Amino acid sequence: MLASHIEGLLAPGALFMSRSFFELEQNIRLILNQSQELTLQSSKVNEKVEKYILHILKMILTRYDRESLLELVYTITKELAINGAKANQKRLFFDEHGLDITNERDYARGMLEFRQAFSDEMNEVYGIKSREKGVYVKIYLSHQPNGLCIEVENNTAIAPAEELRLREKMKKSMSYNDIAEFYMDNMDNTEGAGLGIALIMIMMKSEGLDPALFRIGTLEDRTIARVEIPFNAEYVSKRSQIGR
């Protein structure tokens, strides 16, 4: 385990497990030399996990002389990972309290109780519970000289009402150019995930990136968020390749 906080660092066909930051860095360097893909899996996102994510992204961007994008790429990856981990933990919380996340009344009650209960300590406790139940967040990083693709997957389904709210927030975020303005207009009804999504879209717009490069897809048993960061005009987006 990576400092007992990250379950695995994977490359195609291989699994690297280590306990020190030095070993982690050596594994990353080896993967970067052998492949243009890297996968990180964790049951929670805390300060130490964020530190690993930052270090990995810095190494990737340095390889392509794109360190100037580090703040943007790190913020995007961290926000998506936190949202995914929280979504998983919220599911476990609802199940433990006998609440039906698809029921409007249960959802309102459960969200209120979850927000009130959530803390760093709860994040650690539910991170352990998530790992025991096989619930995780995966960060896929696919990089090349023309661009970087970030995909964050959490393996719990999203409720229809949640997906509707999510898409409404994405649509609404398109009209803002400043995160403070968005927050002031939505401070009474914005959940953490909504603010994170708005932050990502506004940051992309400020960097001259097409917000359409940010996509969220839902399947029966998982949710996948994807953000693509072109390094130059030669980058071909996955959306143009696969149509979504």
pLDDT digits (tens, 9 = 90+) for 171-225: 888 888 777 787 777 665 545 556 788 889 889 988 999 988 999 888 888 899 9
| pLDDT score at 146 | 95
Listing from the earlier edge strand, what are the strands of the sheet with 214-218?
14-16, 8-11, 37-42, 137-144, 147-154, 223-230, 214-218
Q: What does the block give as tokens for 48?
A: 């130490």
Please provide the average confidence, as pLDDT, over all residues in the chain: 82
Q: What does the block give as tokens for 167?
A: 């898409």
Question: What residue spans define the domains of the chain?
Answer: 8-157+211-242
Q: Which CATH architecture has domain 8-157+211-242?
A: 2-Layer Sandwich (3.30)
